[in-house]
């Protein structure tokens, strides 16, 4: 069974570099630096536990998963280790044949999977350190793993609709593909990490230690422990602790890393939750234009599906909102319970439209088509630049909490490893603020019909998504100090992102050139106008994440 459990780590470990002197300066050395440094300990008074911080948000538990009972195709030796231990069906129109991976069409509800660099045009590289280069510092920005739906989300609304139908005159009945609804019960919780979510973050931590463990030697030499950060919502605290457990072990992580819990609540500055202070983020004509556009797309995209399923139910009239809810139940029940009968209701085209629904939503809510994305990502961008240059931030004109970030205890500037946990929307906001234009190279997404695009939500913001920024020393480049950006194993080309960067097969560019471009980007992003200004935005535009001047 231990072997089976380790299968879940394979997609994360697959890209780990072979340890040699190029990647690990200490390989073969007779001097061994042992982590953690002697005489160091976590200061719980400075870095208090979740129970002391509070602001944990909504925490509604659910029934225990029972995939061994419910998943008829439960496969212990499945070749698809990227979703172990979850089980998914083939689409409704596949007749049980084919290899269409529906879990890669769930947008931000997809389980993490490795993305090839070739998708973004770099065919000859990988996350491994390029020849002649050694990674000297790494910055990780990552999302929590799989969770239950947010409270009041579409799945629970659909469940209430079905439950209410059973109480109405004429009653409720379903047959054919929908026969299972006669005995179906809504069994999901709200907000919390699921079992598979904990595994995703633990696996990420384990793979990160496998890849970058040698950088802990710097902490040993300094006699300090790293500071990793997260937010106060329960799932965010559990995300950081599971990541730390994977990276440092159990119970060692309790004494080998300082976990800083930043309060997430309205009105409090927090780079991991800027929507708490950026008031335009939820205004329909500004920060949430993507949600409106995605719902409009869904109204026409699922007409055939509604007609097919409506003929198998009495007492409920389906709408496009219900179809999205049932597709989300496919995603959420699989993530939480291990299997969902809703998945086999939908065709390959349905899942492709479901993915595009999320593509539209995220592109225009938090990507290049959003007027507030860059402003919301400015906080993390500011912190990246501060860490890159090892200089305190001169001002906090964004979501930066200057009380914390101007204190070297909470915001150290000399770490070789940084790891910050946040939400998927903030990751995408930050990608936009960083101007990682390769993600949006095909331009604005049409909102009336599905089209091929460089932006795919399931690749960019799945559960446990992570951006890795490597700082490298290279013997075969000039200057020797280089930087590159890696998203879910895909190395991103940055020659179109930063003036002065040339195309490079490994996605490398001069560290100083990139930092200079990011400093200019910071000056361009107007937090006050984008977050508080009176303007109107609309989908179909490439705002580069910044608000128009009406």
Mapping DSSP onto H, E and C, the string for 277-339 reads: CCHHHHCCCCCCHHHHHHHHHHHHHCHHHHHHHHCCEECCCCCHHHHHHHHHHHHHHHHHHCC
Q: Quote the pLDDT of residue 203.
A: 96
d(CA 225, CA 246): 16
Q: Quote the pLDDT of residue 84.
A: 62
d(CA 456, CA 462): 10
d(CA 47, CA 231): 13
| Burial tier of 83 (Cβ tally within 10 Å: 0-12, 13-18, 19+) | buried
Q: Quote the pLDDT of residue 6.
A: 35
Q: Quote the pLDDT of residue 97.
A: 64
Sign of CA dihedral 84, 87, 88, 94: positive
Low-confidence residues in the chain, pLDDT < 50: 1-24, 26-30, 72-79, 81
Q: Quote the pLDDT of residue 31.
A: 56
d(CA 1, CA 76): 10
d(CA 105, CA 282): 25
* Pure H helices in 213-233: 217-222
Q: Quote the pLDDT of residue 393.
A: 80
d(CA 337, CA 187): 9
Helix (H, G, I), strand (E, B) or coil at 120: helix
- The predicted-structure confidence for 489-507, as pLDDT tens digits, reads as follows 999 999 999 999 999 999 9
Computed over its alpha carbons, how large is the radius of gyration of the chain?
23
Q: Quote the pLDDT of residue 396.
A: 73
Helix (H, G, I), strand (E, B) or coil at 491: strand
Among residues 542, 549, 540, the alpha carbon closest in space to that of 292 is found at: 540
């Amino acid at each position: 069974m231990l072997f089976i459990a380790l299968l879940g780590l394979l997609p994360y470990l697959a890209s780990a570099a072979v340890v040699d002197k190029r990647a690990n300066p200490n390989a073969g050395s007779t001097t061994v630096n042992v982590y953690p440094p002697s005489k160091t300990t976590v200061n719980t008074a400075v870095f208090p536990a979740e129970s002391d911080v509070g602001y944990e948000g909504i925490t509604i538990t659910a029934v225990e998963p029972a995939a061994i009972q419910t998943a008829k195709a439960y496969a212990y030796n499945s070749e698809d280790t990227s979703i172990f231990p979850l089980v998914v069906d083939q689409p409704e129109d596949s007749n049980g044949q084919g290899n269409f991976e529906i879990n890669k069409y769930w947008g931000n509800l997809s389980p993490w999977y490795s993305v090839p660099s070739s998708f973004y045009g770099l065919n000859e590289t990988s996350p491994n350190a390029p020849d002649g280069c050694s990674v000297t510092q790494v910055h990780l920005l990552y999302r929590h793993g799989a969770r239950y739906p947010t409270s009041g989300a579409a799945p629970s609304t659909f469940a209430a609709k079905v439950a209410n139908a059973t109480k109405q005159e004429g009653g409720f009945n379903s047959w054919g593909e929908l026969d299972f609804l006669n005995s179906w019960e809504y069994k999901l919780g709200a907000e919390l990490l699921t079992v598979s979510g904990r595994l995703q973050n633990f696996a990420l931590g384990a793979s990160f230690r496998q890849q970058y463990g040698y950088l802990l030697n710097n902490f040993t030499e300094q006699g300090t422990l790293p500071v990793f950060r997260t937010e106060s919502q329960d799932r965010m605290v559990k995300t950081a602790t599971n990541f730390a457990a994977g990276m440092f072990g159990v119970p060692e992580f309790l004494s080998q890393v300082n976990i800083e819990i930043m309060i997430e609540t309205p009105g409090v500055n927090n780079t991991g939750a800027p929507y708490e202070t950026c008031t335009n983020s939820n205004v329909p004509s500004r920060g949430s234009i993507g949600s409106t556009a995605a719902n409009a797309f869904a109204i026409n995209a699922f007409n055939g599906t509604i007609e097919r399923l409506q003929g198998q139910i009495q007492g409920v009239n389906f709408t496009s909102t219900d179809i999205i809810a049932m597709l989300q139940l496919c995603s959420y029940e699989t993530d939480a319970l291990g299997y969902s009968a809703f998945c086999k209701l939908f065709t390959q085209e349905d899942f492709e439209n479901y993915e595009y629904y999320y593509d539209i939503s995220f592109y225009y809510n938090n990507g290049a088509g959003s007027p507030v994305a860059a402003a919301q990502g400015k906080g993390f961008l500011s912190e990246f630049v501060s860490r890159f240059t090892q200089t305190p931030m001169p001002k906090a004109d964004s979501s930066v909490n200057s009380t914390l970030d101007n204190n070297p205890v909470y915001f150290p500037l000399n770490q070789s490893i940084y790891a910050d946990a946040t939400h998927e929307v903030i990751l995408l906001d930050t990608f936009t603020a960083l101007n990682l234009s390769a993600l949006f190279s095909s331009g604005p997404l049409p909102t009336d019909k599905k089209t091929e695009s460089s932006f795919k939500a399931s690749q960019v913001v799945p559960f446990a998504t992570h951006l890795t920024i490597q700082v490298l020393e290279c013997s075969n480049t000039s200057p020797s100090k280089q930087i590159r950006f890696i998203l879910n194993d895909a190395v991103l080309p940055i020659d179109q992102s930063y003036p002065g960067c040339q195309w490079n097969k490994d996605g490398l560019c001069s560290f100083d050139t990139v930092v200079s471009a990011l400093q200019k980007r910071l000056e361009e992003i107007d937090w006050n106008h984008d977050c508080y200004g009176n303007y109107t935005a609309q989908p179909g535009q490439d705002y580069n994440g910044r608000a128009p001047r009406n």
